[in-house]
Amino acid sequence: MSTLKPMPLATKISKPYWQALEQNQLKIQQCNDCDSWVFYPRNHCTACFAHELEWKEVSGEATLYSYTLTRIPTMPEFSDEMPQALAVVELKEGVRVNTTLIDIEEQDIQIGMPLKPIFDKVTADGKTLLRFTAVNNQGGERKFDNPLEGLPVNDKGQVQVPVSNLSALYALADNKFTEWSNSIEVDQTLINAFADLSGDDYWLHTDPERAKVESPFKTTIAHGSLVQVLQSRLTIALPFEIVGFNTMVNYGSNRLRFPAPVPAGSIIHGRSKVKDVSTSHKGVQLTLEMNIHVQGNDKPSVINDLVILYR
């Protein structure tokens, strides 16, 4: 599973459950007043309403209560898992858990069949989902399988990801920025040239003397659109190369913001990360978040979500 797929969000109440899974343990709550088991995680016992709940490790022995097979992805990110066996299992303790079945052939799935847990490491940093499989299969820990490992690398050191390899494409959206690009000085001459080209000669951009007195920045600032355009002159060292497509189209921007000014004379640089990958009848759509900063400033001056369409 790639990190782009939606992951559960631990709350204050459920956090011990998810922490235990990362330690390859299944823990559920038991009431100290009436000994009833409780799941999903709550603040009170569902049998006697007492608040004396304690997290206790259980074996994970279970039987299949109900299931359904999905042959159409509920979200595009799950395209690589079809068909999914979405299931409700009943633990030996009597509580029921929503989960998925893995490593079981469709014809072998039977209501009431005995199951055992698999602690599925779905991210490189150890995030874990609870799955179930047949008792005659291997249970325990299922290690994270990085879909980018083993792919060829080009002469620039970039991993070559086929556009048809959805698992690898989804794995690119790891929320990690690239290294910083080269630097560009945004001086008054460049700002004036853009003003002449665009027709936007507002004094805040083009009149340094007035800006010293009236501007809240005490200097002229670059046009936001100028800084955006300058991203074409920033060389971003992407760690990957998409291959195997017929056409690649710049599809526009999903979001464009200018959170901070770029004063005249500033040095800017940029970095990017893959924000999203999705598929549709149009092809594979990759969203690349580009951030441009004034050097030394943590707050970006431009955030541009570039959309690239591969067919």
**Residue 145 banded pLDDT, cuts 50, 70, 90:** confident
CA distance 247 to 144: 32
pLDDT in tens, 298-308: 999 999 999 99
Residue 122 has a pLDDT of 85
**CATH tag for 159-310 (out of 3.10.180.10, 3.10.129.10, 3.10.20.30, 3.30.465.10):** 3.10.129.10
Going from N- to C-terminal start, the domains of the chain cover 15-142, 159-310
CA distance 85 to 95: 20
Residue 1 has a pLDDT of 35
At CB < 8 A and 24+ separation, what contacts does 144-147 make?
Answer: 146/171, 147/2, 147/171
CA distance 149 to 235: 25
**Residue 76 banded pLDDT, cuts 50, 70, 90:** low
> In terms of CATH architecture, what is 15-142?
Beta Barrel (2.40)
Tokens (6 digits) for 240:
């990957």
Alpha helices in the chain (DSSP H): 15-22, 166-171, 188-198, 203-206, 208-214, 224-229
Query: Average pLDDT, stretch 98-107?
Result: 94
In this chain, the answer to whether the domains covering 15-142 and 159-310 adopt an identical fold is: no
Tell how strand 283-294 and strand 266-280 pair up: antiparallel
